[in-house]
Structure 1
């Protein structure tokens, strides 16, 4: 169970400074030092992932969890505080999007207890009905009230916003594995040193840290320039990037004349400051004959990131699918990186 009103507490926290672009911070974007960037094509040069390709996460049992190269973020499903969810309007669209995703094998969903006060998880349950258990992957997150009643594939601690120590969190995650409540475990919103500490604590129980998740996109490359993504590759930890389209800012939908709703607080730079970035993404998309979101997502995959992308309808699903099956050219990556943004961290939530 989750406390009623958690979604509103989460939105209030983001407004108060848990978001790396909210609170008492300058909204002037910081450019990326090219000396700190990771090279593109971190995968095998002759390998191009498509919707059927899989990454295998390490588990204690040795039988890994296989995930696609893209995850479907389910924060908006059921969440009124941030996304203004309306069941009558939005639920049929979510089901239509799921049918498209299911048809191509993109059935890896990232949700959390806090999303919609648990409504997101319940919506996921309706989508999974009638599907063989091995045909989808569900990843959810514990924030403050652990749920010891459901089995999930991947279980993450949502972030450093609780009083529990690393050792107690690791012990709890390990117990979830031992009791068969999850197959793999991970963490979200921690920095590199904290990730290593959690991995070491889990190792005491013979449980590998399978996932590290932070906000990552063209306009928030902190996990890359800080070395977290490199450390993940070194330790065989899957790095996942949430808000990979900056809550819609990298889709071409918004402009200085049509700003995103105020509750979309991740990478929430005013749109006029993002115009150089958006124009380059549009130019690359036109050259490759793919939607703008596909370019931004392909960039993340090039960097060794499994992007989490929110999908609310069939059109979005169709656009996002097109991020797979091709690679950006080195020229395209260079053009994007020239207008990319470093991004910030915050001591309240987004450490990494």
Structure 2
């Protein structure tokens, strides 16, 4: 998910391809329509397989960007219901980070702590449930050396209540010490603390360097998690997506719904709350409406919502796993409806063409490093 501490810190840092056969999505009883859990993708060259769509837990416990700067029992229960609804719908891949909801990002409660609690409670009711957990290491300037990566991972495992995680990622490239961080990822694999390792917010140059360094240790770089959506296609333009395809690295797409802007929920007269309102302004949302209208029209032909169409557009790209953030059960259930069917190649390209007329409005400086 996004590189994020707090509003203040943020400004300082400022398988196989999905088949293209058109399915009638409204016929949910048809065997041609798969559930979210039936189709899995292997992350890069690792042996880890995850559902074609995951859930991002950035908002869980956060009070500096999401939740209108407040966290209470109602939002806690909603997050728990999002987790349960995801599992019920077959989505078992969850992405969190040590900075989400933590004190270092001025949050209320660690997202890792909440995810660990939700998993534990679910296993009481359903012991055989398997959840794939991904979390991230914060490459803070004062953290030096490979030992810091393993130490931070052990702290994350404590908060999660787990003995190992499925995917451990470097949240962003460090100002210095990146070779040590990569060695730390390899150490974590060799110590049995993690099944696969990845990076996040890595440019093409840094991605290739990390890949080569891990390869020398005999460990594949499984993934690169970057900002990628229909209206933020920078990974297609800066070489990151093509490098992932060339090297066999899975691209995990955070903010796949452009933080809600692509759901059709917002209009020039109804902008997002909080910091998002300064990004997705009435002027931008006005320019976005023709794309939203076409997304809605295409969705009607499948019996799908704009949200499900936009997520399916990403799933239709080779080797991409979107991880939308779910804050309640309704959102999680809707996300699951993006899996098990496919836009046609013509529809994929049509939406890309319309979206190309819209200039991206958000990005992170680490993409240019």
Q: Of 54, 60, 67, which residue of structure 1 is paired with 2:40?
A: 54
1:178 offset after TM fit, Å?
1.5
User: How many residue pairs were aligned?
Assistant: 320
* 1:124 and 2:115 matched: yes
Equivalent-residue separation in structure 1 for 2:278 and 2:251 (angstroms): 18
1:69 counterpart residue number: 52
Q: Output aligned runs, 1:246-265, within 5 Å.
A: 246-264=258-276
2:366 counterpart residue number: 349
2:81 counterpart residue number: 96
Equivalent-residue separation in structure 1 for 2:345 and 2:80 (angstroms): 37
Moved more, 328-337 or 181-190: 328-337
Scaled by the length of structure 2, what TM-score is found? 0.79
* 1:275 and 2:261 matched: no
Moved more, 184-193 or 45-54: 45-54
Secondary structure of the equivalent of 1:211? strand
Q: Output aligned runs, 1:12-161, within 5 Å.
A: 12-16=8-12, 18=14, 42-43=17-18, 50-51=35-36, 52-57=38-43, 64-84=47-67, 85-117=70-102, 119-129=110-120, 130-131=122-123, 132=127, 135-143=130-138, 144=140, 146-149=152-155, 150=157, 151-160=164-173
Equivalent-residue separation in structure 2 for 1:243 and 1:8 (angstroms): 12
Q: Of 307, 311, 317, which residue of structure 2 is paired with 1:293?
A: 307
Moved more, 201-210 or 213-222: 201-210
Scaled by the length of structure 1, what TM-score is found? 0.83
1:24 counterpart residue number: none
1:10 offset after TM fit, Å?
3.5
Equivalent-residue separation in structure 2 for 1:232 and 1:50 (angstroms): 27
Equivalent-residue separation in structure 2 for 1:266 and 1:241 (angstroms): 22
Residues 257 and 139 (structure 1 numbering): CA distance in 2 closer, same or farther, change over 3 Å?
same
1:230 offset after TM fit, Å?
2.7
Equivalent-residue separation in structure 2 for 1:197 and 1:238 (angstroms): 16
Residues 320 and 43 (structure 1 numbering): CA distance in 2 closer, same or farther, change over 3 Å?
closer
1:244 offset after TM fit, Å?
0.2
Residues 122 and 224 (structure 1 numbering): CA distance in 2 closer, same or farther, change over 3 Å?
same
* CA displacement 1:111-136 (0-9 Å, x = unmatched): 01111116111110111014258700
Contact kept? 1:8, 1:81, Cα under 8 Å = no
Structure 1 stretches of 5 or more lacking a match? 1-6, 19-40
Equivalent-residue separation in structure 1 for 2:271 and 2:362 (angstroms): 23
Residues 163 and 133 (structure 1 numbering): CA distance in 2 closer, same or farther, change over 3 Å?
farther
Equivalent-residue separation in structure 1 for 2:208 and 2:19 (angstroms): 26
Contact kept? 2:5, 2:99, Cα under 8 Å = no
Residues 347 and 323 (structure 1 numbering): CA distance in 2 closer, same or farther, change over 3 Å?
closer
1:44 offset after TM fit, Å?
5.5
Q: Output aligned runs, 1:182-331, within 5 Å.
A: 182-264=194-276, 268=280, 270-304=284-318, 305-331=320-346
Equivalent-residue separation in structure 2 for 1:326 and 1:307 (angstroms): 15
